[in-house]
Structure 1
Amino acid sequence: MSLLVFGHKSPDTDSVCSAISLAYLKNKLGMEAKAYALEEPRKEAQFVLNYFNVAKPEILKAGELKGKDVVLVDHNEIAQTADEIGEANLVEIIDHHKIGGLSTDLPISLRIMPVGCTCTIVYSLFKENNVEIPYEIAGLLISAILSDTLIFKSPTTTKLDKEAVYALAKIAKVDYEKYGMEMFKAGTSLEGFSIDEIVNMDFKEFDMSGNRVGIGQVMTLDIDAVLSKKDEFLAYINGTEFDMLVLAITDIINEGSYLIYKGEDKIISDAFSVGACQGVFAQGIVSRKKQLVPKLTDAVKNI
Structure 2
Amino acid sequence: MSTILVTGHQNPDNDAIMSAVMFAQLKNQLNDGNTYVPCRLGPLPRETQLVLEKWGIEEPQLLEKIEPPAEGEEPVKLYLTDHNESGQSVPGREHAQLLGLVDHHRVGDFETAQPPFMVVLPWGSSCTVISYLFDAYGITPTDAQAACLLAAMMTDTVMLKSPTTTDVDRKFAERHGKQLGVDPVEYGKEIFKSRGSGDFTPEQMVRRDIKCFPVNGADLYIGQYETVDGAAALEQLAEIREAMEAYRQEKQAAGVVLLITDILEEGSQVLLCGDTQAAQEGLGITDEPEGVWMPGVLSRKKQVAAPILAVAQ
Indicate whether the TM-score tops 0.5. Answer: yes
2:272 to 246, 249, 261: 261
Say whether the 8 Å CA contact 1:10–1:42 is kept in structure 2. Answer: no
Query: What residue in structure 1 maps to residue 151 of structure 2?
Result: 143
Name the SS of the counterpart of 1:6 in structure 2. strand
Query: What residue in structure 2 maps to residue 111 of structure 1?
Result: 119
Count of residues paired in the alignment: 300
Once the two structures are superposed, the pairs formed by residues 29-108 of structure 1 within 5 Å of their partners are 29-31=30-32, 32-63=35-66, 66=69, 67-108=75-116
Say whether the 8 Å CA contact 1:272–1:282 is kept in structure 2. Answer: no
Residues in 2 aligned to 1:64 and 1:135: alpha-carbon distance in whole angstroms: 37
Name the SS of the counterpart of 2:9 in structure 1. coil
- Note the C-alpha offset of 1:216: 0.8
- Note the C-alpha offset of 1:271: 2.8
Q: Structure 1 residues 299, 64: CA separation in 2 closer, same or farther (over 3 Å shift)?
A: closer
Would you say 1:2 and 2:7 are equivalent positions?
no
Query: What residue in structure 1 maps to residue 176 of structure 2?
Result: 168
- Note the C-alpha offset of 1:142: 0.7
Q: Which runs of 5+ in 1 are unaligned?
A: none
Say whether the 8 Å CA contact 1:10–1:39 is kept in structure 2. Answer: yes
Deviations 1:73-117 (A, max 9, x none): 000010111102111110011100011212222221111000000
Say whether the 8 Å CA contact 1:271–1:295 is kept in structure 2. Answer: yes
- Note the C-alpha offset of 1:265: 7.2
Query: Could you tell me the TM-score, scaled by structure 1's length?
Result: 0.92
Q: Structure 1 residues 131, 265: CA separation in 2 closer, same or farther (over 3 Å shift)?
A: closer
Query: What residue in structure 2 maps to residue 298 of structure 1?
Result: 310
Deviations 1:4-33 (A, max 9, x none): 111111221111111111111111111321
Query: What residue in structure 1 maps to residue 191 of structure 2?
Result: 183
Q: Which moved more, 1:101-110 or 1:158-167?
A: 101-110
Query: Could you tell me the TM-score, scaled by structure 2's length?
Result: 0.90
Residues in 2 aligned to 1:13 and 1:223: alpha-carbon distance in whole angstroms: 20
Residues in 2 aligned to 1:265 and 1:75: alpha-carbon distance in whole angstroms: 23
- Note the C-alpha offset of 1:59: 1.3
Over the matched positions of the two proteins, sequence identity in percent amounts to 32
Please give the root-mean-square deviation of Cα atoms over the aligned residues, in Å.
Answer: 1.9
Residues in 1 aligned to 2:287 and 2:64: alpha-carbon distance in whole angstroms: 42
Q: Which moved more, 1:18-27 or 1:274-283?
A: 274-283
Q: Structure 1 residues 296, 69: CA separation in 2 closer, same or farther (over 3 Å shift)?
A: same
Q: Which moved more, 1:85-94 or 1:47-56?
A: 47-56
Say whether the 8 Å CA contact 1:75–1:95 is kept in structure 2. Answer: yes
